[in-house]
Amino acid sequence: MKKKLISKAANNIYKYRINNKTFNSISKDCIPQTEKEAYLIQKYLHKLFDLKYLDNVTAIKIGCTTNTMQNYLNIPNPCAGKIRSNNCYKSGLKLFYKNYIKPGVECELAVRLSSDINCQKELSDKALYECLDNIYAAIEIVDDRYKNWSKLRFNNSFLNNLLFNFESNCKCKKS
All structural domains of the chain: 3-170 (3.90.850.10)
Q: Give residue 134's pLDDT.
A: 93
Mean residue pLDDT of the chain comes to 80
Q: Tell me: the pLDDT tens digits for 144-155?
A: 887 776 665 555
The reported pTM is 0.76
Q: Tell me: the pLDDT tens digits for 60-109?
A: 888 888 999 888 777 788 888 888 888 888 888 888 998 888 888 888 88
pLDDT for residue 17 is more than 90: no
List Cα–Cα distances, 103 to 8, 18, 99, 164, 165, in angstroms: 27, 16, 9, 10, 12
CA dist 8 and 163 (Å) reads 18
